[in-house]
A and B are shown apart, each in its own frame.
Chain A
Amino acid sequence: MAGWSGRRTSLTIVLFLLPTIVAILIFNVYPLILNTYTSFTNRNQFRPNPDCANGLNGVLDPLCWGVFKAPQGLGSPYRLQSPILKNYSILMGTLFTPASLLALLKIIIILAPLVVASQVNKRLDRGLTRSIPSGAVWLLAIIALVILGAALNFFAALNILMSTGDFLIVVARTLLFVMLRVPLTFVLALTLALILNDKTLKGNTFFRAVLFLPWGASSVAILISLVWQFIFREQGVINQLLAALFHIKGPVWLNNPIAAFGVIVVADIYFSFPFFMVAILGALQSIPADTYEAADVEGANYWDKLFGITLPLIRPAILPATVLTSITAFQMFGTAYAITQGGPQTGAATPGATEFVMLYAYRQIFQLQNYGIATAFAVIIFIFLFGVTLWSLRLTHITRGVYE
């Protein structure tokens, strides 16, 4: 922007950004640094306090800053441990043994046809005419997947991987949750948005308002999640309905690993679909009507128009929302915490059926006080999320500003 000389402009920029920068440095960057550092120490419930002379403890841990005296007598102090990556190796368990790595390789090979299929489709799409429909490519990929899966014994490999330690179990379950929750949310939101996009539909405003409600409820998600727990309890609404309508004694939903997982998915979709629905509705309204008229002249049916016009046209607007919800779904905490608290437990030393990454971290930090392990876990999760975010930025080009 013109109007000021260079020095005054740069002074404004610095002054206006300063509060943000300071806040981010103190409350985001510093915890990240302390967290990464702690992951190399043996801090746990028996060693909560730092040995201020050791490593960078004196600089990084607030307990060493002269504001208060370093507390004495609460067990021995924590310090850098050797080997320095011990927490990481505990977390990873037996992942880096030849047997586990072989299992991992097998699973990668089995899943490879899907990646190949999506690449082949992308290349075919670039051409003017498609010789092979995309469905056929996917079908071939799935056949290859099944054959490879049978040949390499997919489930045995999976079992080997899952028995390597907590880390893979927790991450795999969270990814499964994301893969169920995000597409289901998308389908539900798309269906509702397509219906509500019809202005001639009677009661349009009413349904829009009612379907918007859970977004409001999602800001107090922890309380509404408790309500979901009430609905699925043994004496809850669902089981009462089952008993009254079909004379079935309903299961104890939250004690069954698979059912509890499903309840979490249903409750979390509840919180997230209105945002998606509103985003899709907005995108739908920006499609010019004459696009459809041209398709009508060509004799296209409803599904042709949906897959040929609507979905490709709303894609640029919906993609950032999808990436965003995938990342928030990966970090989901409140819903599962209120409904199952990570349970039901399937074994003494294994994570519960709905113990997703954030619940696992929460339990390690606040219940078991395994700070070392928890921070190592946090570092790995952060690297993963960081990578995904950067990749999604490239994918969605949302950093372009007003000048570009």
Chain B
Amino acid sequence: MTRKTRTTVRIIQYVILILAALYAFYPIWFAILASGRSGDRLYTLNLPGMFFPTEWTFENYRTMLFGRPFLTWLKNSFVVAGATTVLSLVICTASAFVLSRFKFKGREFFLIFLLAIQTFPGLLSLVAIAQLLTAFGLYGKHAGLVLAYTTGTLVFCTWNMKGYFDTIPIDLEESAMLDGCGPIQAFVLVALPLVRPALAVTAILAFLSGWGDFIFASVLVPAPDSLKLAVPALYELANSVSVPWGQFAAGAVIVVLPTIVVFLLAQGAFEAGLTMGGVKG
């Protein structure tokens, strides 16, 4: 390849990358810009203002954080998502351990059964779940929501953790067992510390399934204001009669930015994790 074509190729590569980066970044940037506009406007009619912060005020953030029950919504979301994460990790690490380390009748069947049952979309079982939670007195309560979310994460979480455990050679634990550990002890002391990145990725995804969910939260905990979760509450705000757009955008930024920061911090783990556990299996 000649020098000249190589430069041309590079230029084309950069053009593609820059366009893709704009595509990836602009919607988030749009929300950030809108959150800093004064008044209740979603747009500004001067075009540069659509791309650069020509005006900026923290008024919306102030109203959102102190003038509305937004902090309560955030706290609710955090508690529900956190409880989901802990419960989900405990349950699925246990089942993934057994599915990876023991050979027993029905193991293969159980794994396939998990995948197959998951193909029934959650949205379609929502009425039944709502009825069930009502019967148990958990409808409209965070506990019911946590149970529903946890079950929703189990299949992915079990499969993912099992995939990781499979990559840890069993010899390590067997040598620990020669030294007198039981299988569970050997697993907890030897294998579990080795899959910390996997635990981190699974925990993040379990947390976010609760943090970002809309439909379950809006159906299972519809009221009152003090129990609502951040995402459905914000969506409701955006669909109310006269929408304070700046405040909505400020709320959305507060919900979205931490999510994105966590993803960026865990990027390495995601890239390593996917190739190990999720995709290659």
Q: Do A and B bind each other?
A: yes
Given A20-B154, A382-B119, answer yes or no on A402-B100 (Cβ-Cβ < 8 Å): yes
A16 engages B135 (CB within 8 Å): no
B24 engages A220 (CB within 8 Å): no
A32 engages B20 (CB within 8 Å): no
Instruction: Assess whether B279 is interfacial by the CB under 8 Å rule.
Output: yes
Interface residues on B, range: 35 or more
B177 engages A28 (CB within 8 Å): no
Which of the segments B52-60, B65-73, B90-98 contacts the partner chain? Answer: B90-98
Which of the segments A90-98, A107-115, A201-209 contacts the partner chain? Answer: A201-209
Instruction: Assess whether A34 is interfacial by the CB under 8 Å rule.
Output: yes
Rounded to whole angstroms, the CA-CA distance of A3 and B261 in the bound complex is 44
Given A23-B154, A219-B208, A230-B30, answer yes or no on A321-B123 (Cβ-Cβ < 8 Å): no
B95 engages A226 (CB within 8 Å): no
Binding site for B on A (CB under 8 A): 1-4, 9-10, 12-13, 16-17, 19-20, 23-24, 26-32, 34-35, 61-63, 65, 67-68, 188, 191-192, 195-196, 198, 201, 203, 207-217, 219-224, 226-228, 230-231, 235-237, 240-241, 244, 270, 274-275, 278-279, 281-283, 285-286, 317-318, 320-321, 327, 331, 333-334, 338, 358, 361-362, 365-366, 371, 374-375, 378, 381-382, 385-386, 388-390, 393, 396-403
B30 engages A207 (CB within 8 Å): no
From B17, B25, B102, B151, A23 is in contact (CB under 8 Å) with B151
A35 engages B124 (CB within 8 Å): yes
B183 engages A382 (CB within 8 Å): no
A1 engages B102 (CB within 8 Å): yes
Binding site for A on B (CB under 8 A): 13, 16-17, 20-21, 23-28, 30-31, 34, 42-43, 45, 47, 50, 91-92, 94-95, 97-104, 107-108, 110-112, 114-121, 123-129, 131-132, 134-137, 147-148, 150-152, 154-155, 158, 162, 165-166, 170, 173-174, 177, 182-184, 186, 208-209, 211-212, 214-215, 219, 231, 234-235, 238, 252, 255-256, 259-264, 267, 270-271, 274-275, 278-281
B275 engages A62 (CB within 8 Å): no
Closest 9 CB pairs of A and B: A31-B125, A282-B275, A216-B263, A31-B128, A62-B135, A216-B260, A27-B151, A219-B208, A398-B281
